[in-house]
Amino acid sequence: MFVGENLTNLRIMHGYSRKQLSEMLGVTEQAVWQYENAYTSPKMQIVNELKRIFNVKSKYFYTKDMLARHMTSADVDVMNIAYRSKVLNVISKTQAEAKHVEYLDTFVNYITAKVSLPTLKIIRLRDEVIEYLNQTEDDRSTQINKVAQLARKRLDLAQDTNEDLMFLVEKSGVFVFEKAIGEEIDAYSLWTRTDRPYIILGNIKRSAVRRNFDIAHELGHLLLHYRLEFANLDRKEHKIIENEADLFAGAFLLPEDEFALDMKDVAHITNPDAYLDLKKKWKVSLQVLGYRAAHLGIIEPKDHRNFYAAMHRKDYLKLEPLDKIIPLQKPTKIKTIIDLVSKKGLVDIRQMIENDWKVELSFFHRMTGIDPNFFNNYLTKTLDFGVTDISMRISSEDKRM
């Protein structure tokens, strides 16, 4: 029997309305509604088209999917998604991303079911931050700076580099994934109801320095805005929250004392090119370096305006020097876990794809951002003739020769 809920999950994750899907299938919107609500079952021709659209196998639609079997109800709350975005949350987009994280969370549960993960450092840090924020009488700017300093210390990030930023954020317990979110959204983050933190990074034309700022910005949301209902914010409130995450990112990526010392070596403070050595060192953009220097009062507002005007004049607001040279940090945590459970025989990747998830490799690529070739490494079996176990048999005739 066709399971309509499976189709609903896929449709929402891909961001399609029923009308959009009906047009892709060449059926009425009412027909799609009937498929999803188990009033009718689609013909095999439609099922074949569905499997092509969503990169799943036909049998995906005839048993309850992994979400129904392994996902805790309401574990991912659409209200708690924090976007690094130029626009306010669009509800259909937010629902699609929430469903995407439901699939990711189910996948993480599946892949770590037989693995004992250490106590998450990020949870201890979050609790420490909450305790501080609840007790302090510091103004908000001071709070943000202190939380940024604390986060850098607790995550063991060195005071003079952001070289291992991605690795240390993942090591702390945050699950980081890439996906094509769209042009208007740079990244987003959330805590699940079971206290698992996620950062989802866009993968469209991102430089290493912009990605580092996205990671730090979302880390700021995870620590400063725990369980905040972002979907209920109006435009003014949204701007305030985004500014707080930006302030956190600047303070986190450029610790005040070390950065102030570095700025003493900048000869021409209004010339962006004079900051290139600092960009190499800290792996942050020229814009962020200039903004942080102005925020700390190291350069005057007039000098910062001239700095920004020079950025515009040199066309650095679109592409900065070194953007194509500094290597992009990519998530590795989930790949490391997959490699571990596969080599230990705890998870059979072929079984996972073919029988448990009932999908194509391209489905996992879209869901996790991991290249399909990575999974292919675990699907190719090496044929072993067992030469060491072969005993040489020599006939008496051979001996005479």
Q: What is the DSSP string of 145-172?
A: HHHHHHHHHHTT--TT--TTHHHHHHHT
Nearest to 98 by CA among 228, 176, 4, 192: 192
Number of residues that this document lists for the chain: 401
Burial 118-140 (b: 16+ CB within 10 A, else e): eebbbeebbeebeeebeeeeeee
Residue of 28 and 377 predicted with greater confidence: 28
Q: What is the pLDDT of residue 86?
A: 53
Give per-residue pLDDT as tens, 243-301: 999 999 999 999 999 999 999 999 999 999 999 999 999 999 999 999 999 999 999 99
**pLDDT band of 395, cuts 50, 70, 90:** very low
Instruction: Give me the torsion for CA of 327, 328, 329, 331, rounded to 10°.
Output: -140
- Is domain 1-64 given the CATH code 1.10.260.40 in the classification? yes
In angstroms, the CA 156 to CA 168 distance is 7
In sequence order, which residues have a C-beta less than 8 Å from that of residue 184 and are 6 or more positions away? 85, 86, 87
Q: Are 15 and 92 in contact (CB under 8 A)?
A: yes
The pTM score is 0.90
Helix locations, 283-384, DSSP H: 286-295, 301-313, 333-343, 349-351, 361-368, 372-376
Structural domain boundaries of the chain? 1-64, 255-328
Q: Tokens 């009062």 appear where?
A: 297
Residue 401: band (very low, low, confident or very high) from pLDDT cuts 50, 70, 90: very low
pLDDT for 92 equals: 63
The mean pLDDT value of the chain amounts to: 90
